[in-house]
Amino acid sequence: MRVIERIIFSERDSELNIKKTAFYNIHKKYDAKIVEFAGYYMPIQYKGINEEHIRVRTTVGVFDVSHMGEFEFIGPKAEDFLQLMTTNDVKKLDIYQAHYSALCYEDGGIVDDLLIYRFPEKFIMVVNAANLEKDFQWLRENLIDGVIMKNRSAEYSLLAIQGKKAEATLQKLTTEDLSQVKNYWLTEGALADVPMMIARTGYTGEDGFEIMFPTGQSEHVWNAVMNAGAEFDIEPIGLAARDTLRMEVKYCLYGNDIDQMTNPLEAGLGWITKLDKGNFIGRDAIMKIKQDGLGRKLIGFELEGRAIPRHGYPIFNGNSQIGVVTSGMFSPMLQKPIGLGYVPLNYSEVGSKITIDIRGRKFPADVVKTPFYNRPY
């Protein structure tokens, strides 16, 4: 998610209609730097981006991601509807399984990337906060008979507990055997005596869980998680570190790396785009793109030195601009600048040489294999 830093004064809350998650007072208690993001006051950082990033990579951290949207689908045609609307194969989801997917427009452009969780009697779709209204409207415009769709976003809180000590932290709080919950699977059970969804999912590249539960239980659950993780030095983690963590493992950020003008194939999301599953919105256009051949590809690159590439910086080959940086940062784990960007296929091979224009100066960069970082466990 793109972090937008700007100062919002509390007396303007009602005028701007900015919301607060149920954890807002906790964030203030931890002296978080609060910014407006996607219509919510959210913590961008607590102790510092690098420290929070390394905490997740080494032990465990907890993120408030309650600003994300949750849509519920029930009815005899719910599976058919989601199969039509999304790129991945919903029919292959078992009960209590989840998968990563995307909504596309007819021309193959990406509406949003998302997660779908399958329960015994319903599906839950979790979407990006900044796209919540747009996504809901797109789904509603295409709704078919036999499906009831509800926006449940205000009813749930969502925490992401990420890092190699996430399981050990949460296991203290539940009788569910979390070691049996495989990656991209979920269970329903009590955690800290609160009934909830416990899913082995996340967007950091680490092992971890995302838990979804009634908003009224938010502070109780937060305190229980923090107490359980105290022996592992658990810390709250802000949106900025969530962005740097996802960057190191080349997870796409909507609005930067993917959007309405990009298609799943050029973004490296062919693995969630099941063209053989039957019809879905955008399939014909994506099939044609595949048949005609991609014109460009999202690549990862590394720079020497410490100059940092940022979203929007031009990518060059010699004196010719060939692309634009979509995401960039200084990697806390690799201790070097890294970035993502779209370039023509003939410049996308690992080892290709490019240059990045950073405020008028060109810095050499190498196209590298991604993900940039792989967890060692």
- pLDDT one-digit tens code per residue, 106-165: 999 999 999 999 999 999 999 999 999 999 999 999 999 999 999 999 999 999 999 999
Same domain, 185 and 323: no
Output the pLDDT for position 305: 87
Output the pLDDT for position 372: 98
Same domain, 244 and 330: no
Looking at the structure of the chain, the number of domains it has is 2
- Give how far Cα 129 sits from Cα of 38, 56, 64, 242, Å: 6, 22, 12, 14
Torsion of Cα atoms, 59 then 196 then 113 then 178, to 10°: 40
> Residue 377 domain-assigned?
no
> Residue 373 domain-assigned?
no
Same domain, 41 and 141: yes
> Residue 257 domain-assigned?
no
Same domain, 351 and 279: yes
Q: What is the pLDDT of residues 313-322, one digit of tens each?
A: 999 999 999 9
> Residue 82 domain-assigned?
yes
> Residue 259 domain-assigned?
no
Same domain, 232 and 274: no
Output the pLDDT for position 16: 66
Alpha-carbon gap, residue 40 to 42, rounded angstroms: 6
> Do β-strands 336-344 and 353-358 pair in parallel, antiparallel, or remain unpaired?
unpaired
Q: If DSSP codes are grouped into helix, strand and coil, which group holds residue 283?
A: helix
> Residue 304 domain-assigned?
yes
Same domain, 227 and 358: no
> Residue 126 domain-assigned?
yes
Alpha-carbon gap, residue 119 to 187, rounded angstroms: 9
Output the pLDDT for position 15: 47
The CATH number of the domain holding residue 138 is 3.30.1360.120
Same domain, 309 and 230: no
Same domain, 244 and 326: no
Provide the whole-model pTM: 0.94
Same domain, 173 and 133: yes
> Residue 261 domain-assigned?
no
238 in Cβ contact with 55 (< 8 Å): no
Low-confidence ranges of the chain (pLDDT < 50): 1-12, 14-15
Roughly how many angstroms between the first and final C-alpha of the chain, as a whole number? Answer: 26
> Domain boundary at 249, 283, 303, which?
249
Residues in the chain, how many? 377
Same domain, 42 and 133: yes
The CATH number of the domain holding residue 311 is 2.40.30.110
- Boundaries of domain holding 237: 1-249
Residues pairing with 325 in the sheet: 341
> Domain boundary at 249, 281, 314, which?
249
- Encoded tokens for 228: 């359980």
Same domain, 307 and 341: yes
Same domain, 25 and 163: yes
Output the pLDDT for position 20: 97
